[in-house]
């Protein structure tokens, strides 16, 4: 008994300590906490593993250089060099959305984390939002470095006509793009081994139809219009119109129209992501696909 009495204060301390430690947020606080928690490894992970920066910048920069030299070989106007630099920088966002947003839930399933996400008392939307936010911040840094280095290497001249519109276009394009990524992530909940192949397949065709290395106006109106479903198509087109002298003459449609379409895409993709995630999560649970691991 003496042992019990001697342990009582410690037990009480431990209990209050545990209550303090286990204070649980709920509602919007939990949502916010989840977003930050999921964004954290995306940003901090990059700082801890700095050599990733080299590969994430070096590889896109090689492609940028190759396409710039193709334009030089066929004696293209200098603004096209700038088009390639901007397009090359934006590939970082598409790669991020494809491999670190859309495919992420597939990777999580492969590593056994997906079931833990589903079991936790938080929103999967918050998890996806955190992934998007972290990925966006980390990728913006890489894209900036590519633009700076590409511009210095190839002496690109920018003539910005409206910083406000430029910021609006970039912001909206990113919201819509990551909304698309969140929507696609829910689809990947149902995929298995084919997820890797589908992501791999979606790279080049999107580089082509979104006009990463040439003005989208080069295609017919209807091809460009259909390609505009990918937010980077209009985002890139608008940014080129806003930062290059010849940009407006090579633009697909006017910048204000592109801003309006990007607004609509942002709302549609985010709303669709929410609906699809709820539906796909239920479907995946019903069909027992959350923990399957078909290699």
Q: Does 67 bind another protein (CB under 8 A)?
A: yes
Q: Least distance (Å) from another protein to the CB of residue 138?
A: 15
Q: Least distance (Å) from another protein to the CB of residue 56?
A: 9
User: Of 82, 130, 150, 215, which one interacts with another protein (CB under 8 A)?
Assistant: 215
User: Of 11, 36, 44, 59, which one interacts with another protein (CB under 8 A)?
Assistant: 59
**Could you tell me the sign of the dihedral formed by the alpha carbons of 130, 133, 138, 139, in that order?**
positive
Q: Tell me if 218 sits within 8 A of 226, measured CB to CB.
A: no
Q: Least distance (Å) from another protein to the CB of residue 286?
A: 23
Q: Does 51 bind another protein (CB under 8 A)?
A: yes
The whole-angstrom separation of Cα 293 and Cα 131 is 22
Within residues 181-210, the interface with another protein by CB under 8 A covers 193-194, 197, 200-201, 203-205, 207-208
The whole-angstrom separation of Cα 266 and Cα 178 is 9
Q: Does 225 bind another protein (CB under 8 A)?
A: no
Could you tell me the two tokens for 201?
A: 């397949």
Supply the DSSP symbol for 98: I
Q: Which stretch binds another protein (CB under 8 A): 21-29, 66-74, 90-98, 231-239?
A: 66-74
Build a one-symbol-per-residue string for 101-140: x at contacts with another protein by CB under 8 A, - elsewhere: ----------x-----------------------------
* CB neighbours of residue 214 within 10 Å: 17
- HEC states along 119-173? HCCCCHHHHHHHHHHHHHHHHHHHHHHHHHHHHHHHCCCCCCCCHHHHHHHHHHH
- Backbone φ and ψ for 101, nearest 5 degrees, come out as -115, -65
Cα 172 vs. chain centroid, distance in angstroms?
13
Q: Least distance (Å) from another protein to the CB of residue 206?
A: 8
Q: Least distance (Å) from another protein to the CB of residue 202?
A: 9
Interface positions with another protein (CB under 8 A): 49, 51-52, 55, 58-59, 62-63, 65-67, 69-77, 80, 111, 193-194, 197, 200-201, 203-205, 207-208, 212-215, 218-219, 295
């Amino acid at each position: 008994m003496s042992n019990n009495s001697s342990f009582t204060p410690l037990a009480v301390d431990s209990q209050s300590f545990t209550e303090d430690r286990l204070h649980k947020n709920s509602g919007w606080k939990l949502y916010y906490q989840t977003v930050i928690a999921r964004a954290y490894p995306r940003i901090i992970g990059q700082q801890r593993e700095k050599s990733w920066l080299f590969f994430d910048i070096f590889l896109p920069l090689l492609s940028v250089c190759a396409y710039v030299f193709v334009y030089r070989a066929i004696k293209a106007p200098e603004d096209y060099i700038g088009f390639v630099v901007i397009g090359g920088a934006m590939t970082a966002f598409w790669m991020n959305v494809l491999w670190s947003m859309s495919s992420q839930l597939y990777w999580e399933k492969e590593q056994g984390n997906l079931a833990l996400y589903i079991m936790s008392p938080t929103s999967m939307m918050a998890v996806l939002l955190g992934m998007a936010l972290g990925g966006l911040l980390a990728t913006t840094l890489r894209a900036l470095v590519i633009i700076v280095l590409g511009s210095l290497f190839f002496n690109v001249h920018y003539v910005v006509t409206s910083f406000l519109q430029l910021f609006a276009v970039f912001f909206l394009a990113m919201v819509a793009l990551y909304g698309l990524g969140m929507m696609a992530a829910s689809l990947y909940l149902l995929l298995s081994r084919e997820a890797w192949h589908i992501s791999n397949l979606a790279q080049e065709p999107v580089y082509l139809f979104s006009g990463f290395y040439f003005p989208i106006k080069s295609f017919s109106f209807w091809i460009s219009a259909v390609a505009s479903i990918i937010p980077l198509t209009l985002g890139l087109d608008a940014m080129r119109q806003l930062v290059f002298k010849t940009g407006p003459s090579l633009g697909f449609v006017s910048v204000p129209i592109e801003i309006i379409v990007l607004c609509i895409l942002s709302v549609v993709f985010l709303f669709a992501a929410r609906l699809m995630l709820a539906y796909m999560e239920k479907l995946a649970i019903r069909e027992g696909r959350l923990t399957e691991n078909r290699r």
